[in-house]
Structure 1
Amino acid sequence: MSDRHELILTCPKGLENLLLAEASELGLEDAREQVAAVRGQATLEVAYRLCLWSRLANRVLLVLRRFPTQTAETLYQGVHELDWSEHLAADGSLAVEFSGVGSGIDNTHFGALKVKDAIVDRLRTHGGQRPAIDKLNPDLRVHLHLERGQAVLSIDLSGHSLHQRGYRLQQGAAPLKENLAAAILIRAGWPRLAREGGALADPMCGVGTFLIEGAMIAADIAPNLKRERWGFSNWLGHVPAIWAGLCSEAQARAEAGLARAPLWIRGYEADPRLIQPARNNIERAGLAEWVRIYQGELATFEPRTDKGQKGLVICNPPYGERLGDEASLLYLYQNLGERLRQACLGWEAGIFTGAPELGKRMGLRSHKQYAFWNGALPCKLLLFQVEPQNFVTERREQQAVPTARLSEGAQMFANRLRKNLRTLGKWARREGVECYRLYDADMPEYALAVDLYRDWVHVQEYAPPRSIDPLKAQERLMDALAALPQALEVPQERIVVKRRERQSGTRQYERQAARGEFLEVAEGGVKLLVNLTDYLDTGLFLDHRPLRLRIQREAAGKRFLNLFCYTATATVHAARGGARSTTSVDLSRTYLDWARRNLALNGFSDRQRLEQADVMEWLRNDRGEYELIFIDPPTFSNSKRMEGVFDVQRDHGELLDLAMARLAPGGALYFSNNFRRFSLDEDLASRYLIEEISGTTLDADFQRNNRIHRAWMIKAGK
């Protein structure tokens, strides 16, 4: 074999330029970039060195030959012509990886079979002995890439991908690959800062990948020093003496590096479940003296600043994959920017994100940005110099801490919120209302509903029309969310953001999160439990407040029936008003449990009947009589527990006929729904006395959106 070989180093997309510089420094000659790869010439010693020391490559491929191919047969012949006895014994094991199509190759599986057959046929002995196939740990891993009629046949010296360092056996939900983390650190200037004795901190460290990679760079540890099995371990062309010399050199460098005084490298993680896995990873990497992990929220993050210590803050905050996710994370990025401005003056920072728009909301000017790919997701690394001249903030006289400056649009939105708060706040205080709608898409470009629940803010973003540019809609949403804490003087952690789209079936009732945190609020002399985080709706429909209070006023001595009762807030009002008995029906066990808690919270635990059932089926079987009935059905509903699908437009006539059959003489039925295109069946008026009361069921906070629901009072006909 030749002393010089063609090598191809593969890497994640976007790392080619960094890998080119690294590989050239490690001895690769005539190096040049390709898509997700670097190609060059090197001796076997340099090839080994690249395997051992490359922090960025996925694989090191040693090219055996290039040849043209037009058909599957010429591909077979081109592989078969090679003297495979120089590389693999007849009783060895083999794995083949194939990429590319064309030249008679329809798919990669077929291509891999042709390559395998050619190698096996060449090595088959007269006695029939031939290499076995082992896809996990073969003696030789062969790679063939086919492109535009040219086959590139290589052996994989690395074996398993080089990003798998071996220390990370436990990982979080969305970990960065180790070589991507190393690339981010290199781009962020960590090697320079490490040489200068700088510190490294990650305020959202997960299982510690950034910190471990950073410590290995600082301590001059070869990233793959601890790997025991390589793609060349059983390759017949392997020269153990060369490899042993490189390993001895790398071991000596690592020991010398670890003997130095450790740099200050610290990670903080809010999720307690990740702390021990992170510490286990650090221990496996042999860096327990260099890296420390602590449990702590972002708000408690404090890098080391004594003795003028400076360094790099690096992190990969969550960024979500949908617009609604990004909206809920705006305040996380704002808090991150605030912590950098407060606690990291003079430091450098690198924020790796798939949502650069969120990064722009940190209140800091980025002086450099680099494009990366995290798998198939395009991302950016935003670099900051945390200095006052780079702050994008405003300082109010009463504030000691600078806050992010609002855009012109955000300022307009904030002004509208303040105006509404002045008007509706007076009304709410006068009427004793704790929970009300402050803003409901008053400005069409800011399509949000903003509700106040005591000292909490619940924000729902209406999905923008398809005609609106999603990026523009996102920018406006971010402007609005940035304005909320300043305009309402509410801490960011008390603002909950959700996205409301057109719902079908029971999606509006599906769980969004699992925090299980309930807030007790008061309304009309009763106490109710709301949950602002776990579901799209909170358990309390604010627009029905007047109708609930009307039921309370009329309930004394009556038997009350609440159909599609949800969390039974109307039932609590009826019980408060002195109802002789109440019956509440809903299909959801979750919401009936919530209803039971609402009733118990007010001391109403007897004479209150809760039924888990399909409302239509329950009405067909029930024989009770009720003087007061309330029905607020969903637009659509389906469940495994019910037959068919309930459609309020199609089925409301039958629903009302069944309910009116249960209405006692002289009783009243209140029917409401929020389907915007709803039309009451005209035939109902021939059977019952019907009065639309929509206008009287809307308080001041819903006068701007008088189509939020429609309501009718229905009584038996003459």
Structure 2
Amino acid sequence: MSEKHEKQGGETSKTLTLKNKPQANRTADGEKRKRAGARARQVARREWDKDSTPATPARPGTTDQGKRRAGRTHTEANEQAARAHPRAAKASARQARSTEAPSRQAPGGPSHAEGARQRRRAEPSGRAGAAAPRQNDEIVTREVERGGHAIKISRRDTDRQRRRGTATRRSEIHVLFASCPHGLEDALAAELQALGFEDAETSRAGCRFHTNWTGVLRANLYSRLATRILVQVAHGPIRTEDDIFALALDTPWEQWFGPEHTLRVDTSAIRSPMQSLQYCNLRTKDGICDRLREREGARPDIDTVRPDARVHLFLDESTATLYLDSSGESLFKRGWRLDKGEAPLRENLAAGLLALSGWDPARPLMDPFCGSGTILIEAAWIALGVPAGIWRPFGFERLRNHDARHWRDLKDEARSHIATRLETPLMGYDLDPRAVDAAKANLERAWLTPDTIRFETGDARSVVPDTELPGWVVSNPPYGERLPEDTSLWADWSSNLKQHYSGWRINVISSDLDLPKLLRLKPLRRWPLHNGALDCRLFSFDMVQAGYRQR
């Protein structure tokens, strides 16, 4: 803009003239300067955010000239953003086309509900997949082999979506089933109620209860008796295998896992009319994979050894229930037992024997047939307050929206309550020196000091307790194929118990239902249990002082 002074009839007048200035962002040749680097990306992002903001309705009285001027400004901004950020521009164009498509719907087309279903099918993840990623978005990408070709699977997670997904899962109340060995249902219900799950009630081979996602984590971390913690995700009536497929297809698996995960499906049934459980398992798998392919464009791989996600299908006479396994590996795998004896006892069954026996952690405990030390190491963890799952990984850590910080806080709180020293005498004996060495190796892997448990080579028929305070004997002696040919074992051990264990409580698990007769002792109680496939009993005896004659 310049100013001219002119004289007309003795008067001076001023005239303003507009001139084009050279633009600062153009080169000497007249070409527009191209930005590069971080500044260019920042400008393009600002322009893209500005373009993505919904336009406000025009105010009354807006002229056509103002609309055309605004249109030119908007077009120029789009062109500038397209040159600096071409991917964002293409995504914006796709979004614009998808937004304008409903307005071009011809009369007599699909209804609103049908159109919504078509849009849900068109959007792989149930969200507007065409929207370009924002600055705080996280693009999760994984290459998956499909027919010899690598396919990239991408999923967009915004900060808001991650926070919403984590908060929703943590506050939602879930129906849970905690499985356990047969015979430990009552003990498991008592344990869960002590952990704060007051509505825990027994069921066949497990317990049912309700809790939020934090409770799911705590149940996995603290339960010593459960085998798995299963989260119910679907339940419904079925008549054919196709009903199972439909139930799996309608379940929102994408909330938990996707094509970037590996999958395993297991099926069990009680009095189900289905002819083939293997076919039911296949239909469940098909329903899960079809839903994820429809929602996210690809299906998960199958891994039967170490999958990222495990789904359990349970069938009864007329219904099917789908569970998501939050535990991963079975909970009896604490992570410390690598050396095993001839007949290893699972850790949760060992903890169950201690629970059923009524052992007081302040009283002495002996295992005269200790083997690899499972019962005594479990007892040491109980006495010290070590959570059963503190040193092992879990399946829920590999699921979507896993809150690693929240899980770390729960474990830190649990570690803060672990005692540093054990005053209770724990003693284990075995005739086989190799079993004693295995028990000592397991003791070290369980993060226990060598003086926590005294493992020694010894014979149950001659071992005498060296504590004045009476305690408990909890043991898994040899039976079945492991029973020695010398049948005098039981008579000699019984004689030692009667002479030197007055006031002690003897608890022995065996598949031999005639064991009390062989010991010439009358059991106070028989607890039906299953040690794997073996039908066993836990026999409890009280060695009352002066109650037995020396024979």
TM-score (norm 1): 0.51
Which amino acid in structure 2 is aligned with residue 319 of structure 1? Y
- For the pair 1:283 / 2:447, whether they are aligned, the reply is no
**3-state DSSP of counterpart to 1:79:** helix
Distance (Å, rounded) in 1 between the aligned partners of 2:295 and 2:461 = 72
TM-score (norm 2): 0.66
Contact 2:336 2:446 in 1 (8 A): yes
2:477 to 317, 327, 341: 317
- Structure-2 residue corresponding to 1:610: none
Q: State the Cα deviation string for residues 340-368 of structure 1 (Å, max 9, x = none).
A: 12222222221222223223332433323
Which amino acid in structure 1 is aligned with residue 476 of structure 2? N
Structure 2 unaligned spans of 5+: 1-168
Distance (Å, rounded) in 1 between the aligned partners of 2:473 and 2:202 = 30
- Structure-1 residue corresponding to 2:534: 377
Structure 1 unaligned spans of 5+: 394-401, 404-718
Contact 2:273 2:317 in 1 (8 A): no
Displacement after TM superposition at 1:233 (Å): 1.1
Displacement after TM superposition at 1:44 (Å): 1.3
2:363 to 182, 195, 198: 198
2:399 to 235, 257, 260: 235
Displacement after TM superposition at 1:103 (Å): 7.3
Contact 1:11 1:57 in 2 (8 A): yes
**3-state DSSP of counterpart to 2:438:** helix
- Structure-2 residue corresponding to 1:223: 388
- Which residues in structure 2 correspond to 1:29-108 (within 5 Å)? 29-100=198-269, 105-108=274-277
Distance (Å, rounded) in 2 between the aligned partners of 1:15 and 1:237 = 33
Closer, same or farther: CA 126–264 of 1 in aligned 2, 3 Å = closer
- Structure-2 residue corresponding to 1:295: 457
Displacement after TM superposition at 1:13 (Å): 0.7
- Structure-1 residue corresponding to 2:414: 250
- Which residues in structure 2 correspond to 1:373-522 (within 5 Å)? 373-391=530-548, 393=549, 402-403=550-551
Distance (Å, rounded) in 2 between the aligned partners of 1:134 and 1:104 = 28
- For the pair 1:120 / 2:284, whether they are aligned, the reply is no
Distance (Å, rounded) in 1 between the aligned partners of 2:487 and 2:543 = 20
**3-state DSSP of counterpart to 2:207:** strand
Displacement after TM superposition at 1:386 (Å): 1.8
- Structure-1 residue corresponding to 2:322: 153
Contact 2:175 2:232 in 1 (8 A): yes
Distance (Å, rounded) in 1 between the aligned partners of 2:205 and 2:407 = 27
Contact 1:330 1:358 in 2 (8 A): no
Which amino acid in structure 2 is aligned with residue 172 of structure 1? G
Closer, same or farther: CA 101–179 of 1 in aligned 2, 3 Å = closer
Contact 2:339 2:438 in 1 (8 A): yes
Closer, same or farther: CA 175–326 of 1 in aligned 2, 3 Å = closer
Distance (Å, rounded) in 2 between the aligned partners of 1:127 and 1:161 = 30
Distance (Å, rounded) in 2 between the aligned partners of 1:103 and 1:275 = 46
- Structure-1 residue corresponding to 2:333: 164
Displacement after TM superposition at 1:128 (Å): 4.8
Q: Name the structure with the higher strand share.
A: 1
Closer, same or farther: CA 102–313 of 1 in aligned 2, 3 Å = closer
Displacement after TM superposition at 1:110 (Å): 1.6
Contact 1:338 1:363 in 2 (8 A): no
Which amino acid in structure 1 is aligned with residue 212 of structure 2? T
Q: CA RMSD in A?
A: 2.1
Contact 1:69 1:103 in 2 (8 A): no
Displacement after TM superposition at 1:376 (Å): 2.5
Contact 1:365 1:390 in 2 (8 A): no
Closer, same or farther: CA 358–8 of 1 in aligned 2, 3 Å = same
Closer, same or farther: CA 388–104 of 1 in aligned 2, 3 Å = closer
Q: State the Cα deviation string for residues 99-119 of structure 1 (Å, max 9, x = none).
A: 127877432222221111111
Distance (Å, rounded) in 1 between the aligned partners of 2:377 and 2:488 = 28
Contact 1:139 1:233 in 2 (8 A): no
**3-state DSSP of counterpart to 2:415:** helix
Contact 2:516 2:522 in 1 (8 A): no
Q: Percent identity, please.
A: 36
Which amino acid in structure 2 is aligned with residue 304 of structure 1? D
Displacement after TM superposition at 1:247 (Å): 0.8
Distance (Å, rounded) in 2 between the aligned partners of 1:168 and 1:96 = 27
Contact 1:56 1:179 in 2 (8 A): yes
